[in-house]
Structure formats: C-alpha cells, structure tokens
Structure 1
Amino acid sequence: MQNETIRKRMQRFRPYIKYFQEHSIKSDIIAQLISEHKSIHDDVVKLQQRYETSKDGVPILKRTPNPMHFMENERMRRVDALVNNKLNNAIDADFVDTKIGYFLGNPISYVVEARKEPRLQLLADEVEAFRTRNNVPDKDTTAGKQTDIAGYSARLVYFTTENDKLVLKIANIEPQGCIFFYEESMSEPTFALQYYPSVVIDAQGNKQSVTEVEFHDNTHTYFFRSGTSGYELYDTILHGLDGCPLFGIENNDELQGAAIRILNLIDAYDRTMSDANSEIESTRLAILLLRNLGMDEEDIQELHKSGALEMWGDNTDIKYLTKDVNDTMIENHLNRLEANMHKFAKSVDFSDEAFAGNISGVAMKFKTMALEHKAIIAEHKMRSALQYQFKLLCSGWAKLGICEPEDYLKVWFGFKRNLPVNVLEESQATVNLKGNVSERTRLSLLSFVDDVDAELEEMQKDAKLYGNELEPLDAGNDEDEDIDPEEVDET
C-alpha cells in the first residue's frame, strides 16, 4: 500500500481538466494517464483481494516456513518447521458486511413530493419504474460494499432501448479502472475515464487481448482500443445527458476503505492464530525421550506399530518432550488485538453478549455510536452522489418530456438503519408525546413508519371509516327526506 491516501493521488489528475477543456482527449495521452493511475489501481485490487480472501491478497496465506528452522542435514530438521498452518481471519470482510448491513440493510427510499406539486406525478411514476427496472436496492448495496472496501465506487448513467422505448439505466463500474478528473468531489466530476482488459476476436476466430478505454465529458463518450501503435479512437457517441455520466461514490474524505487503518492488526491476529494452531498440532510430532534405554530404528518403528514397550531397571524412563504453551498469554493477546480492531475500525460485534435480550433503544444507540458516526459520513457522501445521479437522470428524462432538468431537487433520499426494533418502547414513547408535539413529528419517531405523509393520509381515512369523523348513515340520501312516512305505511 502507498503511504499517500487515494484522495491525494487522485487529485494529481486535476491539472488535466484544463488540458481536456482546451484540447479534448488525445489518444497519445491515454497510456500516460493509465501509468500515473497504476498505484491507485493496484491498491484497490489488493483491498478487493483481501475481502475475497484471495491467496494473492492475504499475507498469511503466502507465508513460507522460516528457513532458519531447517538444518543442513535433512535428518536434523526441526520438528516445528514441519508445521506451517496459515489461518486467515476475514475480519476486514466482517467489518464491511457489518457496516453495509447496518447502513444499507434497509433499502434507500426515493420519494418525489408529487402530492404537493401534481405536475411531478409523472416524475414520481418514472422514479418508481426506474427503481424497479434497475433493481436499485441491489445496486445501491453493491455500490456501498465496494465503497467500503476500496474507499470509493463508480457508477455510470446511460440511455438504452427497452421494448423499442428509450429508458435510462445505471450500472456499477469496477473502481480500480476509473480515473476521475474533478475540482472538489468525484461525485460530480468534470471528466472521467474508464479502462479495462478485454478480448477482440477477428473474422478467423483468433483472440487478441486488448485494453478498452471510455472517456466521458459532459456531452460525448469516446471509445479507444489498444493496438500495435498505441491507443486508437474507433467510436464517438452523444450520451444525451447534461454532465459526465461516470461518477464516483466516496466513502470518506480520504477515500479510505473500512480496513485500511487496521491491516497490520489483522495480520498480527492471523499470525498469532496460525502460530498457536501450529504449536498445538506440533505436539503430535513431539520428540521421544529415552532415559537409560537404547533402541535402534527398527525397535522405534515397532513401538509406533504396537504402542507397547517393555522396560527393565530402576531408572529407566520414556516420555515425550513437548513445549509449554502459554494459552493465557495468547488469549489475552488475541482479545486485545480484537478490541483494538473494533475500536479503530469503528465497528460493532453484534454477536457480543451485550446485545443479547431486549435492550432499550437508548442503550442500543450508545453501543452502536461509533458505527453510527461512520455510517453518517458515508450517508452524506452517498447522498451527494445520488443527487448528482438524479441530476443526470432528470436531464435525460427532460429530453423525453417527463420532467424539467431542475426537478432533481424535488427527489428526496431516505436512509434507515437496520437494527432490531423495540416496538413496545417506541409505542409507549409516542403515546406520551400525543398532544405535546405535532402528529407529523410524533409519527416520524416510529422506526416502522417509512412515509409520514402516507401514514397521515391513512389515519384520516381510518378516522372517516371507523373513528370520530364517521359520516352519518343517512348522508347522501336527501331524496328520502321528502317521502311521507304515512305513504310508506300505506304501501
């Protein structure tokens, strides 16, 4: 890993903004951009490999036996060199999954206030269709996970045809191959470049490995492909959006993943666990001590087969030489490492006994405070990226006559933490608040109420159907008031 954060290294691409504004993109500069981006690419790949528990990404899985444990004479090899356990503890992956389950376990809600402005109903319907068409909850969760692993993720907005109709879709892009050129934040870049390995098959069926490059500005996308003489432009399209369609989702200001600050602690935990396991296993290879008793190699082999041995003499003794393992020290060391990892990664062990039982909401908030602080930062960063995403979407939908370009300001994003809910405690609190605060505020405190306005409407309907606002049974029967009761009796 580089000493500098990804943020600092990504900011070195800022001077290219003026170059692209004056000269657009040139094929002869692409190789230079990819070369300068290599350190970021490699670091993101390593973090992804660690999350996936790849042998190339986890140091303990590549550990070899200590060469000092081997003697020149092969028969004098040390016993503990025969055991080299490599135990990987995927703590970094657990921290990522814990945060994403807490932060995005409940899908983000996308709400358009169409009730206040009826003209926005078409946009509200399109947002709901967009959410379903793109399986947005899954894409948001995947983007959130990738953001927490690498420190940032990437997303592309694009036009496509579905049932002979133009629609807008989104796709998550692998972040290691994305370069963002921005002034302030990669969630609203001026330009963006994506590169990735691919294969070209010619007319004879021969395969050739190439690098595909897509460069985006606020109007066009340029497609390049590596060849024998460098990168060559082979296509240019209008993407139809008012802005760069490829943008980033940041995890924090430094663009750091969940595990970047505790990688050394994780490696120390892996080494301790591996060494302790090797010590336990090496007891099976303990040295046999013979006191006042000589045995040749044939007798030793027979001893292993039969498991029995006859001995004579007062001082004759036989036993195994084993190491004394200080299991208390090992356990304390592992506990301290684990506590420090949770502390510095701002994560929570929900399997801890402290979370057992029906604890109060206040107690739950105190126990998850560090995780909540990290989630709040991620929420602000993701909200910024989603706002830019809908700015792009509304610019495209405006061309289809669905809304106005500025209507992205009318889209609201709702984040809701995924925690066990103490419904009894919440209901008791809201009962005590009735009459002391507005109904809107009181309902907003209930974790199971997603849409306060919709809930208020349902409460009004219930009041008319079952409550104090129940309409009279003879309402609407004005014609019956003119009927003479005597005429009714005569009939």
Structure 2
Amino acid sequence: MNEYITYIDEKGVTPLLLDKLVDETKSERNKRLLNYNRYKAELSAVPILTRQPTDYDQGNAQVQRVDDKVNNTLNNPLDAEIVDTKVGYMFGNPISYVVDKQAQSLTKLSEAIELFNLRNSVDDLDSESGKKTAICGYSARLLYIDTDGNERAMVIDPWETIILSETADVSEPKYAFRYFKVAELDAEGEKVEIEQLVFYDATTEKVYTRVEKDSPFVLKDERKHLFDYCPLFGIPNNEELQGDADKVYKLIDAYDRTLSDASNEIEQFRLTYLVLKGMGMDEDDAEKLARTGIFELMGEHDDIKYLTKDVNDQMIENHLNRLEENIMRLAKSVNFSDESFAGNASGVAMKYKLMGLENKCKTMERKFTTALRYQFKVLCSAWAKKGICSNEDFLKVWYEYKRNIPIDLLSEAQASQALKGLVSERTRLSKLSIVDDVDYELEEMEKDAKLYGNDLEPLGDFGTQDEETTPKKKKNESSARSSSKKLCEECGGSGEVTSTRTSKQIVCKKCGGSGEVRR
C-alpha cells in the first residue's frame, strides 16, 4: 500500500484514489465483517445454519423417502469460545497505566491520564478493542476532541477502516480512512443510503460523501483535529493480522456437520420401517392397525419388527472429541470446563496447561502496548499545548497486564516472603496478584508504619503495657509510655492523665500546674 502513500504525498487525496482504495480493500474488509458476524452467530455467516436437506434422486415416483427431510443445523460457536476465553483471561483484570508519581515533572501527566481513563471508561474500551482484535485480526481506535475540549477515544470497527503505514504496522499510521454507510431522509421522507469516507492525516480531517455508487466522492467538510499525528490507528492481533479462529474455521464447520448429522440419525429412529415376516397387509389391515394398534399373528413363524439403522455412537464421540481437541490446540486456547482443570493443580501445572494461551496473549500484549504507546504519543501532542507535559513524555508511561486466573494467594505470599530483602519492595509487591497499584500500596504501607509502628500515637489511660512490648526509643520515653504517667513541661515532674485518650492535658503532682505531654 506504499504506492498510495506516495500518491497522497505528491498529489493529495483525489476522488480517483478514494475509489481505488475502497475497491481494493473490499474483500479484506468483508472478511473481517464476516468473522464478526460469525462471532454473533448471524444466519448468513455460519455455514451450518444455511445447510439444506440432502436431495436424494430416487428415480421412482412411486417410492418416497421419509428420512431425507430431517435436517438439523446445530451451531457450536467454538470460535466465540476461543475469543471470549482469551479476552477474559487477558482483560478480565484491567490494564494498569503507570507513571512515576514521584517525579514532579510527571505529576500533571499522571493526573491527565487518570482523568482520561475515567472519562473514556478505558477498562471497557480496552476490553472491546481486545475482543474485536481477536475476532478480526485487528481493531481500530479513534482519538478526538469533544465539544468541551476534552480528549476522547472510541472503538472503530476494523471493516470500516483503511490504514496506510510506511512500516506496514497499523499501529503507526501515516494516513487513515474510515469508510462506512449512513442513512438519511430525503425531501420526500424516503430513506437514502449515503457512503461516507473520512480521511485523517497528521493535522486534518476531511469528510467525503457520495449517494450513487458510480459517482465520485465529493468533499463535504474539512477541519483540524488538533493533534500532531494521525488520530485513527489500529491495534493488531499479530503481524499477519489474523483472528484467533482463522485457522480452525474448517474444523469448526466439520464439528457442526458431525453433530448435526448425529442428531439427524437419532431423530430418524422414529421414521423406521415396519417388517412383517410370514404375513402380508392390505389397505384394510393398515387402516385397522392405525385404529386399534393390534396385530393378529396366525402362523407359527409370523413375526413383526422394525427395521432400524445401527449407529456407531462410540465412533461419533471419538470423532467429536478429536475435532474439539484439534480446534483448541491449533487455536492455542483451552477449555476450562475440561476435567483436567479440576482438582488442586499446582501453580506450575496450571501454567503448563495455559502455556499455549499465554504465548498467544504475550504476542497480542506486545502489539497492544505498541498501539497504546502511539495513543499516548498522539494525546501528549495535545497535552503539550496545554502545558501538561512535553511531547516525549509518552515514553514515560508503562503498561501492566495481569492475567485473570484463580489466585493461589498462599504460594504467592510464601514466595513474596522469601524474596524480602533480596529484591526491591516495588518489585516484590508487583509480583502479588492482589496488588493492582504498587505506588498506592507503598503509600498505604508508609501510613500503616506511622499508625501502627514506632510512630504510634499515645493511646491514653487504657491500662499499662509491658516494657518488652513497647518500642525501644529513649529510656525516659520508654518508661513514660509504659504507664499512664507523663512529664510536665513546667517542672519536669510526673503527672497523672486526667482527660480522655485524645486529650494531651495533664495535672502535675509536683507543681500542680498543667502542661502539654512531651513526646
């Protein structure tokens, strides 16, 4: 697609260019839309749902089959299971956006990111982006300025986007297009479908429209988007831009056909033929049978039975199991309802079972991080104009991902205790699943140290403490804290606490004066 970049650099955007881009990317965009419709189990997108009954050529009008009308179309949305498992595993715990809060120059940036995340519900935004990325191979995100002057973000359907990049990386675009259709009412109130194409570059947003497909696009609006980079970018699933189920759709179709055919066989049992041995039946006998349900057998060797098919259910079961196993293995997914996940598996054993899924998520995690880094590069270009940060401060934002799996808190606590003193507290705390924000946790630990450690405030007249249990500071402070007696500031004598726990007033036995408790 670099030829289009060169063309735009030299000649700008022309109606001819827009027509070529829309036509050339049509098949790729339709494929991504088909994947999404299949995820939603749309009738037209799932092959088994449109399967017709087998038309047997009987060649004899007098003979009619009664079993060819059974046509079960059972959809097993294993592709949706693959996607949902990955999204829940990777985005069940929200991504943490980390900025060094101790650096004074980054304080405003940290506050701006927190506000941006809250205003745009970034937890949900990341999850939806991850879902469409896993389904279609990549998702798109658009940054814009709302009417209140706030930076906003929204997910754009990947089948509506055309991204041009000099590096072939959709997360680093030079130009981007959004192509979609909208409905408007004409002067007579009739609904008219209009094609819209929005072009984005580093400074400008241009809106083109057309009503007739054979007519050229016409420029309708042009405005500045207030960023210094292209605000429409992609979030790739992998370098090949393939969805998680792209390689196993044929296997899923085979699973659907096998299960549907097995269900057909079960239903056809009730369409079996009646065999009469040693006797015949005319129309009168058939009518009598339908009315009474009684047979009269006169001969010694007369017999009646149904002619049925023998169904090898074990073969069907083995075939379905093999198909499911191959689907999950080749898609690098897992079935958490499988009995192999039952019991008290150790953390290491669980990680081996999840290794394929984890490797796939690691690839997407790196791609997602690259896209998020570009996102904050664009945002920092706007925040720099407001004096919040510099243009290069997007490099000081870090992203932490935590997998959504059952936590073995005891093992983590034991490992954390063993690491104490061997690594920094920040590193040690970051390995605990229950700690979402390491900086916040360190601040809370400092507060606890002041409240419950050596800096604990005096508790007042609530009984005495043993000297062995008191903090060992100065000798006079130790003796003062071990009882309810304090030191008078006027004469240095001892006094009795006469007020409540929160009061610091004393009455001195020696001089009779009152003063403040000396720490």
TM-score by length of 1: 0.91
SS in 1 for 2:417: helix
- Rate the CA distance shift 1:304–1:52 in 2: closer, same or farther, 3 A: farther
Answering whether residue 2 of structure 2 is matched by residue 14 of structure 1, we say yes
Q: Could you tell me how far apart the structure 2 residues matched to 1:136 and 1:112 are?
A: 16
SS in 1 for 2:421: coil
The aligned residue for residue 316 of structure 1 is 302
- Rate the CA distance shift 1:141–1:360 in 2: closer, same or farther, 3 A: same
| TM-fit CA distance, 1:334 | 0.8
SS in 2 for 1:281: helix
The aligned residue for residue 172 of structure 1 is 155
CA contact under 8 A between 2:193 and 2:211: conserved in structure 1? no
Q: Deviations over 1:363-409 (max 9, x none)?
A: 11111000000000000000000100111111112223322222211
354, 362, 365: which one pairs with 1:368?
354
Gaps in structure 1 of 5+ consecutive residues:
1-12
The aligned residue for residue 232 of structure 1 is 218
378, 383, 387: which one pairs with 1:392?
378
Answering whether residue 7 of structure 2 is matched by residue 24 of structure 1, we say no
Q: Deviations over 1:171-230 (max 9, x none)?
A: 111111211111221001110111111122234433211101101111101100013432
CA contact under 8 A between 2:87 and 2:131: conserved in structure 1? yes
SS in 2 for 1:200: strand
| TM-fit CA distance, 1:79 | 3.3
CA contact under 8 A between 1:70 and 1:78: conserved in structure 2? no
Q: Deviations over 1:321-343 (max 9, x none)?
A: 11000011111111111111111
The aligned residue for residue 89 of structure 1 is 76
Structure 1 counterpart of 2:90, one-letter code: F
The aligned residue for residue 460 of structure 1 is 446
Q: Could you tell me how far apart the structure 2 residues matched to 1:248 and 1:343 are?
A: 28
| TM-fit CA distance, 1:46 | 1.4
Answering whether residue 323 of structure 2 is matched by residue 337 of structure 1, we say yes
| TM-fit CA distance, 1:458 | 2.0
CA contact under 8 A between 1:147 and 1:251: conserved in structure 2? yes
| TM-fit CA distance, 1:302 | 4.2
486, 489, 504: which one pairs with 1:481?
489
Answering whether residue 174 of structure 2 is matched by residue 190 of structure 1, we say yes
CA contact under 8 A between 2:488 and 2:508: conserved in structure 1? no
CA contact under 8 A between 1:70 and 1:77: conserved in structure 2? no
Question: Quick one: percent identity of the two aligned structures?
Answer: 50
426, 433, 449: which one pairs with 1:447?
433
Q: Could you tell me how far apart the structure 2 residues matched to 1:299 and 1:402 are?
A: 95
Q: Could you tell me how far apart the structure 2 residues matched to 1:157 and 1:386 are?
A: 12
Structure 2 counterpart of 1:217, one-letter code: D
107, 122, 145: which one pairs with 2:108?
122
SS in 2 for 1:261: helix
The aligned residue for residue 246 of structure 2 is 260
Q: Could you tell me how far apart the structure 2 residues matched to 1:128 and 1:186 are?
A: 26
- Rate the CA distance shift 1:285–1:448 in 2: closer, same or farther, 3 A: same
When Rg is computed on C-alpha atoms for both structures, the one with the higher figure is: 2
Structure 2 counterpart of 1:179, one-letter code: I
Instruction: Return the structure number with greater helix share.
Output: 1
Query: What is the correspondence of 1:55-94 to structure 2 with a 5 Å cutoff?
Result: 55-67=43-55, 69-73=56-60, 76-94=63-81
CA contact under 8 A between 1:85 and 1:275: conserved in structure 2? yes
31, 35, 40: which one pairs with 1:47?
35
CA contact under 8 A between 1:463 and 1:469: conserved in structure 2? yes
The aligned residue for residue 222 of structure 1 is 206
Answering whether residue 340 of structure 2 is matched by residue 358 of structure 1, we say no
| TM-fit CA distance, 1:461 | 2.1
- Rate the CA distance shift 1:378–1:332 in 2: closer, same or farther, 3 A: same
- Rate the CA distance shift 1:294–1:223 in 2: closer, same or farther, 3 A: same
- Rate the CA distance shift 1:459–1:151 in 2: closer, same or farther, 3 A: same
Q: Deviations over 1:43-90 (max 9, x none)?
A: 1121112111111111111111222x2424455233331211111100
The aligned residue for residue 3 of structure 1 is none
Q: Could you tell me how far apart the structure 2 residues matched to 1:423 and 1:225 are?
A: 57
| TM-fit CA distance, 1:111 | 2.0
Structure 2 counterpart of 1:168, one-letter code: E
130, 134, 137: which one pairs with 1:151?
137
CA contact under 8 A between 2:96 and 2:437: conserved in structure 1? no
Q: Could you tell me how far apart the structure 2 residues matched to 1:25 and 1:267 are?
A: 43
| TM-fit CA distance, 1:299 | 3.2
| TM-fit CA distance, 1:479 | 10
Q: Could you tell me how far apart the structure 2 residues matched to 1:346 and 1:458 are?
A: 40
Single out whichever of 452-461 and 89-98 deviates more from structure 2: 452-461
Gaps in structure 2 of 5+ consecutive residues:
460-476, 481-485, 495-506, 513-519
- Rate the CA distance shift 1:145–1:306 in 2: closer, same or farther, 3 A: farther
**Aligned-residue CA RMSD (Å):** 2.1
Q: Could you tell me how far apart the structure 1 residues matched to 2:85 and 2:204 are?
A: 39
CA contact under 8 A between 2:487 and 2:493: conserved in structure 1? no
Equivalent pairs, count: 472
297, 300, 312: which one pairs with 2:286?
300
Structure 1 counterpart of 2:342, one-letter code: A
Q: Could you tell me how far apart the structure 1 residues matched to 2:61 and 2:417 are?
A: 80
SS in 2 for 1:262: helix
